[in-house]
Structure 1
Amino acid sequence: MNIEEIENKLKPKGEVSIIGCGRLGIRVAFDLLEVHRGGVKRIHVFDNAKIEENDIIHRKLGGKIGDYKVDLVKRFFKDRVEAVRENITKENLDLIKGDVAIICIAGGDTIPTTRSIIEHCKNRGIKTIGTNGVFGIDEKVKVCDAKYAKGPAKFLNLEEEGHIVVGTEKFIRDFEPITPYSLNEISKLMVLECLRILWKKYYSNKTFI
């Protein structure tokens, strides 16, 4: 094959659900969709929140106060995005689709909902990626399996391996802020983990010759 033929083979594959479109979720959505020569074919973004004044990242990306956050992603990538104006709860887990679910929910006690999402996805062969602390000043962001997590993800109390978590391992009780730098790094590593899963499923051990 020549280079042009190989490039034509490197098309987006698979689908990803992004659960939550706040400060982290919006970064994950745009980072994932910006991947070129491969990457994900379609994403489903879930969140019923509207953009508020303090949603700086959404406004920097062109969102208007009062607009739905998921609609901002849809506006940029109409054919590759399903924007769902709903929060994922224990009652609507069947809305989750695709090969990978990236969990970016925040605020209050998210552990029960996250556990329900993980269990639902596991039963349907959907890989999951979540957070393990987003607080901290100049903290190193780490990737690990939630079963061995030292940060907030340890409270998921997962008995089996398989749920990947990314974060600073810091708790809200540490009284450190959430910086855009940490969120950028967490988003980057979440996207890379997602791409590894998709590559393994769609490209590993494949030959284009």
Structure 2
Amino acid sequence: MDSIEELEKKLTQKGEVSIVGCGRLGVRVAFDLLEVHRGGPKKVYLFDNAKIDKNDIIHRKLGGKIGEYKVKFVERFFGERVEGVVENINENNLHLLSGDVIIICIAGGDTIPTTRAIIEHAKKHGMKTIGTNGVFGIEENIKICDAKYAKGPAQFLNLKEEGHIVVGTGKFIKDFEPITPYTLDEMTKKMVIECLKILNKIE
């Protein structure tokens, strides 16, 4: 039987993850994923061209400075395990994405075309994808499902095949409910767990 020391050596970091969007949700996902001990990803790539402003409370609570690029703050915090790319992913720069898992945390405006393009790109290159299905709601149960069967914002992706995992409340902006830190924390937890399940299957 292996000793404790030998078992510990087998619990290593595996794979790489791209996180698209480093806002209120994306920065939580990045921190929680990188905090995983005896596992988690070897490398995280973060994509976002926004800077921290006074309303980015979670970034500031974690130590980010106003005016600092969000992705460069996370890179500064974690060092070589993170590569912060100061670009928003769109249909023209999908080639920048890499790794085993892509976690899509983009928000604001119509994100459907970009999300769909990322999913199609990932499928062609053998990468798994995880995204959102509504962040609004005060006391909502956070649900995980395949986007093909989603009820909520993700249904508008109109995906014909299974494989894109979505996490969220299923609520829309038109429901006129706020986005709470509690909802984002719970979504983060479930997104990170889904990502770890994928990474743990890597040989």
Q: TM tier, shorter chain?
A: over 0.9
CA distance in 1, matches of 2:186, 2:155: 21
TM-score between both structures, scaled by the size of structure 1: 0.96
* Contact 2:24/2:56 (<8 A) preserved: yes
- Provide the C-alpha distance between the structure 2 equivalents of 1:99 and 1:82, rounded to a whole number of angstroms: 15
Which portions of structure 1, spanning 4 or more consecutive aligned residues, are displaced by more than 2 angstroms? none
2:137 maps to which residue?
A: 136
* Shift in Å, 1:72: 1.2
Q: Secondary structure at the match of 2:185?
A: helix
Displacement of 1:201 after TM fit? 2.1
User: What is the RMSD computed on CA atoms of the aligned residues?
Assistant: 0.5
Task: Note the alpha carbon deviations across 1:15-57, whole angstroms, 9 max, x for none.
Answer: 0000000000000000000000011110000000000110000
Q: Which residue is equivalent to 2:124?
A: 123
Paired residues of 2:134 and 2:169 also in contact (CA < 8 A)? yes
Matches within 5 A, 1:124-203: 124-202=125-203
Map 1:16-31 → 2, pairs under 5 A = 16-31=17-32
**One-letter identity of the residue aligned with 1:33:** L
Code of the residue aligned with 2:87 in structure 1: it is E
2:94 aligns with 93
Residue identity in the other structure for 1:116: A
Query: What amino acid is the match of 1:68?
Result: Y
The normalised TM-score by structure 2 is 0.99
Percent identity over the alignment is 74
5 Å-filtered alignment, 1:34-73, equals 34-73=35-74
Q: 5+ unaligned residues in a row in structure 1: which ranges?
A: 203-209
Corresponding residue SS for 1:79: helix
